[in-house]
Amino acid sequence: MIEVVEGDITQLQVDAVVNAANDRLAGGGGVDGAIHRAAGATELHAACRAIGGCPTGEVRLTPGFRLPARAILHAVGPVWRGGGQGEDELLARCYRNAMALAAAEGFRSLAFPAISCGVYGFPRERAVPIAVREVRAALARPTPVERVIFCCFDGAMAALYRAELGLPVTSPP
Ligand code: AR6
């Protein structure tokens, strides 16, 4: 039910990919930039502009356009400010809200990047247990979602997820 994949999230054949967006849904670097390029920047920018923005911790839906995925769930993770500004709960909400929106849309498979763990500076050792806890909790309830992929851009991140999930760690941390 939960898999760890090392690679580019834009290539995955899933019902929906989650984007690590900003609160203006304005596009940017990192996974957001990769998703915009692969989906078709013009179409995706227009769809995001029509939505307007998205508060931190919340999630908005657009089509996947040219991605293999049907849909994009744009999640706005918190900027890391030392851990005392509610960052853990805001990150948890991203995973919770993405799982809830995927369920409401009837999606069966989705893939997450490590939200907030790039430009936004959230410590990965702290983010991974939050992501795993929230996805497990959502899958424990009735849901059409039957496959969740944690898509990691590097082997060290994949090793962290595998360790947290109790999966064999195949690549060195
Ligand atoms: N596939 C999977 N993971 C990726 C990919 C990819 N193609 N590219 C990067 N990552 P980040 P954030 C990993 O910075 O911290 C943008 O400018 C990356 O290695 O993309 O939430 C937005 O517009 C890292 O582990 O997102 C926002 O302004 C993880 O994805 C801001 O950055 C997240 O890194 C959001 O920052």
pLDDT in tens, 149-161: 999 999 999 999 9
Mutation choice for ligand 1 from 94, 119, 124, 126, CB with most ligand atoms inside 8 A: 119
Q: Which two tokens stand for residue 80?
A: 């890391």
> Does ligand 1 have an atom closer than 6 angstroms to the CB of 22?
yes
Cβ-based neighbours of 82, under 8 Å, separated by 6 or more: none
Ligand 1 atom with the shortest distance to the CA of 8: 1
What is the whole-number distance in angstroms between the Cα of residue 139 and the centre of ligand 1? 24
Kindly report whether the global pTM for this prediction surpasses the value 0.75. yes
32 classed as catalytic: yes
User: Quick one: how far is CA 127 from the chain centroid?
Assistant: 12
> Does ligand 1 have an atom closer than 6 angstroms to the CB of 118?
yes
Q: Give, using CA atoms, the residue closest to atom 19 of ligand 1.
A: 153
SS3 at position 138 = helix
Helix axes 30-39, 41-51, angle to 10 degrees: 110
9: number of Cβ within 10 Å: 25
d(CA 132, CA 150): 9
Averaged pLDDT, 75-96: 98
Ligand 1 atom with the shortest distance to the CA of 115: 21
Degrees, nearest 5: CA angle 74-137-12: 40
Q: In what order do the strands lie in the sheet with 71-76?
A: 2-6, 147-152, 109-112, 16-21, 71-76, 59-63
Which member of 8, 15, 32, 154 is catalytic? 32
Q: 3-state SS of the chain: helix, strand, coil percent to 5?
A: 40, 20, 40
Domains and CATH numbers, the chain: 2-165 (3.40.220.10)
Q: How far apart are the first and last CA of the chain?
A: 23
Q: For the segment 95-142, what is each residue's pLDDT rounded down to a tens digit?
A: 999 999 999 999 999 999 999 999 999 999 999 999 999 999 999 999
pLDDT band at 47 (very low <50, low <70, confident <90, very high): very high
What is the whole-number distance in angstroms between the Cα of residue 118 and the centre of ligand 1? 5
User: Quick one: how far is CA 123 from the chain centroid?
Assistant: 16
